[in-house]
Structure 1
Amino acid sequence: MASVFRSEEMCLSQLFLQVEAAYCCVAELGELGLVQFKDLNVNVSSFQRKFVNEVRRCESLERILRFLEDEMQNEIVAQLPERPPPTPLPREMITLETLLEKLEGELQEANQNQQALKKSFLELTELKHLLKKTQDFFETETNLADDFFTEDTSGLLELRTVPAYVTGKLGFTAGVINRERMASFERLLWRVCRGNIYLKFSEMDTTLEDPVTKEEIKKNIFIIFYQGEQLRQKIRKICDGFRATIYPCPEPAAERREMLAGVNMKLEDLITVITQTESHRQRLLQEAAANWHSWAIKVQKMKAIYHILNMCNIDVTQQCAIAEIWFPVADTGRIKRALEQGMIWNTFFHGRYLILLMGIFSIYTGLIYNDCFSKSLNIFGSSWSVRPMFRNGTWNTYVMETNPYLQLDPAIPGVYSGNPYPFGIDPIWNLASNKLTFLNSYKMKMSVILGIVQMVFGVILSLFNHIYFRRTLNIVLQFIPEMIFILCLFGYLVFMIIFKWCHFDVHVSRHAPSILIHFINMFLFNYDDPSNAPLYKHQQEVQSFFVVMALISVPWMLLIKPFILRANHRKSLLQASVMQNATEDVEGDNSSPSGSTGQRASAGAHGAEDDHEEEFNFGDVFVHQAIHTIEYCLGCISNTASYLRLWALSLAHAQLSEVLWTMVMNIGLRLRGWGGLIGVFVIFTIFAVLTVAILLIMEGLSAFLHALRLHWVEFQNKFYVGAGYKFAPFSFKYILDGTAEE
């Protein structure tokens, strides 16, 4: 019963584990997930704990696993294991470290080789296109004669066909630059060289790939003609600044063609080597993908175990680990078996009960309201019959055509059988013109009854809290007046509703007042109107008594408890003062005649009294009790009104169901012939889709939300007291699930 009315009973215990078996025991408790460990080394930094090196090794393995995950990203999908691997033994960390470090080293080496090969491939590709574009330039340039260049002994080019006053050495530089830098590169060359150069460039039609970032890059090929060594140095510096790559390009066409052939051969060999390197890298990634999840789970479990061991005290002399754990008392046997297994080393439906109960309650209310897709089920047979009204032979077609709504007169014998419908609403109401008015009143009263019964049950649950904490004062001065207040007003209202349903009489039913009138009369005491005739004898006296008792319960809750608490506090202070004076008299007999000791003791007593006065504040206690009384009294009214949301939900559900039936399904049932058969099939499909989407999904979620609010707010505020802190057991399942969500 304790687990129903309050949180699970918990136990704090100490564990003394052998150092050799501590790892295995913690692993078994982690698989069980029922134990929360306390940190016994709060004042010890993380770097000074016993198993800090093991934790660092696990973090190093996690770094390698993250590296492997990044390498596999967008290339290979890691395979999930069929079942989670068991917790590895401590010695398995060495094997796992060796395996992962070897795999990391081979993969890094393959990546470095691949980057170097791709860098060489990029350079050879650029040189290949540069030689082609340079050849095209010399062949298509019409302003230059065939003997425009001549090579001298210094390796530079001489200008032949230019006038003598500009005759000098002429050279050229060819290279490749990123396309987005070309405009700035050209502008800076023109300004620095003051226009004394000739620049020719062309876009490279092939998209290249950066060997490091693997991003696509676009480049331009350029050739710059200049005169003099000074300009050559300036051009070189500008090329370095813009990270342009300068390639050697021979001037004779035959040498360029020979160099281009050699570059093509090297590219073919390089492509073969790159393919083999990529195949080796893929094999390594496939090996990692096959076991990555298993390795990650093992590392996370080992790291979690060592974190828990760092929270324990290690007794070096006795070679044991001391741990303090919180665990539910009901699970003591399972925890002991887990510890025994570790030494050898070899909640109701998980919270879904609320949805289950809501489903059962929805079926129950559906049977009460006798409403299934806006149609009633005649299970027990109606208690009303129209035939006795036409025993004299007046039943004919004319009567049916001229009276679409027949008034059932209970005064005629045989119309009402005298026995009400056994359970729920009589199906005859489905034919009544005032069905909606009647069902609204009925559903509203049912919501009020359900709400008041649940709130009374919540107040009763508060009694178990007072008994458990041995608060007798709260039972007499809080629970009893609360029960008197809610039962005398709202409990009596429920009684009157049910009494009127049961006490039906044909002759007085037309003059019986409504329940609302009765409820108002509890305060007005007005029975002069003959239409407000009482339903039973001495009703006025009974209601007067209940009203008086409800009014008495308010000051009972408000005033008595604060004054009794103040009287108890003063009594405890008086007892403490008497004991202190007795102590002073004993000490005074054994002290010097000066009496200084007694004065100091007296001063200490006054100081203690001042401390107690600061701890107990009558004003705060009185205000707190006043707030509780006001919240309870007003809450009973507001919460009762809040339960009317059940009525509103039921009304909306019934109206939506009726609209879907009359506007959708009823149309298909009117069709005849083969067309009607096909039409019924199509319209039923539409009807089923709308029913599932609107009534089951949308209305179901709305009902779940409102029912959850009524449970947590209107019901639990009568007894719920949240204290302590949440129980968070050490569980591998929670650790792995949390990592997966991240």
Structure 2
Amino acid sequence: MTTSNESLQQRYMHLTELRHVLRETAQFFDQAEIRQDVATTIGGGGRLTDPDDAVPLLEQDEEYANFELGQLSIGVVTGVIARSRMQTFERVLWRSLRGNLYMNASEIDEAIGTGVDEEDAVDKNVFAVFAHGREIVNKIRKISESMGATLYDIDPSEDARRDALLDVTGRIEDLNNILSNTNQSIRAELVTISENLNAWTTMVRKEKAIYHTMNLASYDAGRKCLIAEGWCPSYDIPSVRSALKEATDASRTSLSAIVTEFRTNLKPPTFQRTNKFTEGFQSIIDAYGIARYREVNPGIFTLISFPFLFAVMFGDIGHGALMLLAALYLVLNEKKLASNNGEIFKMFFGGRYMMLMMGIFSIFTGFMYNDIFSLSLSTFKSGFDWPTDYNSTDTVVGVPNGNTYSIGLDPAWHGAENFLLFTNPYKMKQAIILGVIHMSFAICLNVVNHLHFNKKMFIWLEFVPQILFMESIFGYLVFCIMYKWSVDWYARGADGELLRGQPPNLLNMLIYMFLSPGTIIPGEQLYSGQGVVQVFLVLIAVICVPWMWFAKPYYLKKQHSMHQYSSVADDEAIPDEDDVLNVHAPTGTGAVDDPEEEEFDFGEEMIHQTIHTIEFCLNCISNTASYLRLWALSLAHAQLSSVLWDMTLKIWFNFRGIGGTIGLFIGFAVWFTLTCCILIGMEGLSAFLHTLRLHWVEFDGKFYAADGHGFQPFSFKSVTLEVDE
């Protein structure tokens, strides 16, 4: 139908052009007849001398000067050409024929095109070229066609032109009716097609995917069957067998599909089974790298550690509640919102459960910080008593009453002058404690990998020196922090004298632990026997460095030497040459050697282990310092929230009357807008990226090889959701 419609449109275009040619050339022929009558009257067989437009062609040509005009063979070429090419067309004709022509043209008042697309319509001109001689006329035709002109043969007689114009006009009217009916038929057909187009597209994509997958199978001519090899999760093998049995029964064939499992030394792909809750967390781990087959999957622990570390930086009851509400909206309306294809929205929608967990943990840490929109909650009895007769401009001292606030930070600290002096060291030490625990747990996960991959010796060669090095320095620092918190350094005796004095500076203690082992600066002692303990821990850390450096390469070299000796002994014990070939070349059995296995090189192993040892020792310092971002982001979030409250909303509380009411309304709108955009949007994104960095570098880098390749199963879902480029 489309082809027929295009053919009709082409005919309609040609008829339209022909109608314009008939109309415009009527004037050309009338003028030509007038010129010829005038020339015949004034010529009389002699040389023409009239300089006006009525002079016939080639009047200056000496060869034809004495010819009568009636003896000349005058021909005409008529047609239509694009208006943009008209000047070029005239210039080419004039230069090619040396001026031996007479040309007339007029513009068509409507754009003419194919009719299929209105944008293809172009402005055109009707032209008529008069010349004498058959060869010249043929040359004009060739030039016209080469310039893209459409030529039409017109009968010079007036009656023939009038009849042709009437005939063309009638044919155009008939074509208009036919085109209208054709367009209606095409539209009706397209409406019918549109109802089934999605189903047809899905069916075609599925068929193509099926045949593409079947083309990967090999044909066994002897057994006349297809043999396909692939990977499948062991858990799903019963499902595969059941699906093949159902397909066999549905096809009513006597030949059944056979599923056979066989072992191979090739590295299997990694498949992490997820659901809509764990999918978002697993995706951020896969963005770092796909796990090696059967390697410990960090995504399991990320379910808790990621939202918790995020909440340490983002802790606020109010902000966490707003994030929780936004996530709940996405979760409760996930079926309705799943069809939204916006790129930014899809990222948030895919992490809706991650946002839900981050909101819940932010509310929890907000209770720990006792912070809600930069304010505090006095839910329980405070541990400080305040004087009753003071105003907001007075500086007073809170007196401890011996009570301990039940949950989180005492609200008495909010608004105090020494609030930052109290919370800064607390949050900084908290960040170090969380960081050391997080990294220590990552190092411990190496044990699981070593046990599974049957490398138990690596526990003694890698894990033990790494964990000893880590805990002898930074584990000891965590112990000192906890011990310092547990001691009341300002306790006084019966006579009012301080029992312990000022608490020691832990940073100086850690520095002098290596600069002067065993020496304790006066007034900086944390506990008795501290010098001996620190010397012992420094010795352990120093011993662990060569332990990590040389033990593993030496062990691998020894194992390689024993393996070579064992292989030579086995070869000498087998006298049959054929048996030797079978042992070393088990082709066709499926149990081939791993093609990615490289030959052992002690030098390369030493270089690799040297880099690994230096990197681990330096990273223990830099990574621990990296966790201080938990303190920095938490402090920045709290201070920015406080400034926003004071500058937008709090200032209007002192105003009264209608002005104060309007100001409070505007201030609340500004405060809420900036809270959502800056504190939740920008600060939330910043905390998210910092948390992602802690997991990728500080946590995953300790145990996660991430050198596997993902499992890509055949799936109709991925085929049908494929977007054509």
With the shorter chain as reference, the TM-score category is 0.7 to 0.9
For the pair 1:558 / 2:541, whether they are aligned, the reply is: no
Equivalence for 2:531:
540
The aligned runs of 1:286-325 (5 Å cut-off) are 286-313=191-218, 321-325=226-230
Contact 2:462–2:548 (8 Å) recurs in 1: yes
Q: Distance in 1 between matches of 2:599 and 2:219?
A: 41
Equivalence for 2:602:
618
2:694 counterpart SS class: helix
Q: Distance in 2 between matches of 1:274 and 1:517?
A: 93
Q: 1:489 to 1:436 in 2, by over 3 A?
A: same
For the pair 1:129 / 2:20, whether they are aligned, the reply is: yes
2:104 counterpart SS class: strand
What per-residue deviation string (whole Å, max 9, x for no partner) do you get for residues 591-618 of structure 1? xxxxxxxxxxxxxxxxxxxxxxx94433
Contact 1:160–1:167 (8 Å) recurs in 2: no
The aligned runs of 1:188-587 (5 Å cut-off) are 188-210=92-114, 215-313=120-218, 321-345=226-250, 347-348=274-275, 349-353=277-281, 355=354, 356-387=356-387, 396-397=389-390, 400=391, 404-408=394-398, 415-507=399-491, 511-523=502-514, 524-525=516-517, 529-532=521-524, 534-573=525-564, 583=573
1:326 counterpart SS class: coil
Q: 1:333 to 1:576 in 2, by over 3 A?
A: closer
Counterpart pick for 1:120 among 11, 22, 26:
11
Contact 1:405–1:432 (8 Å) recurs in 2: no
Q: 1:280 to 1:719 in 2, by over 3 A?
A: same
Tell me whether 374-383 or 265-274 shows the greater mean CA deviation. Answer: 374-383
Q: Distance in 2 between matches of 1:546 and 1:419?
A: 39
Equivalence for 1:598:
none
Equivalence for 1:670:
654
**Residue type matched to 1:189 in 2?**
L
Equivalence for 1:38:
none
Equivalence for 2:77:
173
Contact 1:562–1:621 (8 Å) recurs in 2: yes
**Distance apart, 1:471 and its partner CA:** 1.6
What per-residue deviation string (whole Å, max 9, x for no partner) do you get for residues 546-596 of structure 1? 222222222222233333443444445555666677x59x99xxxxxxxxx
Q: 1:226 to 1:470 in 2, by over 3 A?
A: closer
Q: 1:681 to 1:292 in 2, by over 3 A?
A: same
Q: Distance in 2 between matches of 1:515 and 1:263?
A: 103
Contact 1:202–1:221 (8 Å) recurs in 2: yes
2:229 counterpart SS class: strand
The aligned runs of 1:62-81 (5 Å cut-off) are none
Contact 1:458–1:718 (8 Å) recurs in 2: yes
Q: 1:457 to 1:441 in 2, by over 3 A?
A: same
The aligned runs of 1:37-186 (5 Å cut-off) are 110-137=1-28, 144=35, 165=66, 167-168=68-69, 169=72, 170-186=74-90
Contact 1:149–1:160 (8 Å) recurs in 2: no
Contact 2:447–2:459 (8 Å) recurs in 1: yes
**Distance apart, 1:460 and its partner CA:** 0.8
Q: Distance in 2 between matches of 1:528 and 1:498?
A: 19
Q: Distance in 2 between matches of 1:317 and 1:575?
A: 42
- By relative contact order (CA 8 Å, sep 6+), the higher-ranking structure is 1
1:425 counterpart SS class: coil
Contact 1:115–1:212 (8 Å) recurs in 2: yes
**Residue type matched to 1:364 in 2?**
F
**Distance apart, 1:258 and its partner CA:** 3.8
**Residue type matched to 2:720 in 1?**
L
Q: Distance in 2 between matches of 1:723 and 1:130?
A: 75
**Distance apart, 1:250 and its partner CA:** 4.1
**Distance apart, 1:350 and its partner CA:** 4.7
Q: Distance in 2 between matches of 1:718 and 1:193?
A: 87
Q: Distance in 1 between matches of 2:680 and 2:101?
A: 81
- Structure 1 vs Structure 2 CA RMSD: 3.3
1:536 counterpart SS class: coil
Which residues of structure 1 form unaligned runs of 5+? 1-109, 151-158, 388-394, 409-414, 588-613
Q: 1:136 to 1:504 in 2, by over 3 A?
A: farther
Counterpart pick for 1:638 among 622, 631, 641:
622
**Distance apart, 1:720 and its partner CA:** 0.9
2:406 counterpart SS class: coil
What per-residue deviation string (whole Å, max 9, x for no partner) do you get for residues 524-552 of structure 1? 357665432x2322222222222222222
Contact 1:461–1:719 (8 Å) recurs in 2: yes
Counterpart pick for 2:636 among 648, 652, 655:
652
Q: Distance in 1 between matches of 2:657 and 2:571?
A: 104
1:471 counterpart SS class: coil
What per-residue deviation string (whole Å, max 9, x for no partner) do you get for residues 64-84 of structure 1? xxxxxxxxxxxxxxxxxxxxx
Equivalence for 2:684:
700
Q: Distance in 2 between matches of 1:537 and 1:161?
A: 130
Q: 1:405 to 1:238 in 2, by over 3 A?
A: same
Q: Distance in 1 between matches of 2:149 and 2:566?
A: 95
**Distance apart, 1:185 and its partner CA:** 1.3
TM-score by length of 2: 0.73
Contact 2:115–2:121 (8 Å) recurs in 1: no
Q: Distance in 1 between matches of 2:437 and 2:538?
A: 19
Equivalence for 2:723:
740
What per-residue deviation string (whole Å, max 9, x for no partner) do you get for residues 460-519 of structure 1? 110001111222221112111111111111111112222222223423576111221332
Q: 1:139 to 1:334 in 2, by over 3 A?
A: same
**Residue type matched to 1:465 in 2?**
N
**Residue type matched to 1:405 in 2?**
T
Which residues of structure 2 form unaligned runs of 5+? 42-52, 60-64, 252-273, 282-302, 304-353, 492-497, 577-597
Percent identity of paired positions between Structure 1 and Structure 2: 42
2:414 counterpart SS class: helix
Q: 1:160 to 1:255 in 2, by over 3 A?
A: farther
Q: Distance in 2 between matches of 1:675 and 1:160?
A: 92
Q: 1:333 to 1:648 in 2, by over 3 A?
A: farther
Q: Distance in 1 between matches of 2:40 and 2:195?
A: 64
The aligned runs of 1:11-26 (5 Å cut-off) are none
**Distance apart, 1:716 and its partner CA:** 0.9
**Residue type matched to 1:740 in 2?**
V
**Residue type matched to 1:680 in 2?**
L
1:217 counterpart SS class: coil
Contact 2:78–2:127 (8 Å) recurs in 1: yes
**Residue type matched to 1:404 in 2?**
D
Q: 1:192 to 1:312 in 2, by over 3 A?
A: closer
**Residue type matched to 2:557 in 1?**
R
Tell me whether 513-522 or 132-141 shows the greater mean CA deviation. Answer: 132-141
Q: Distance in 2 between matches of 1:514 and 1:556?
A: 32
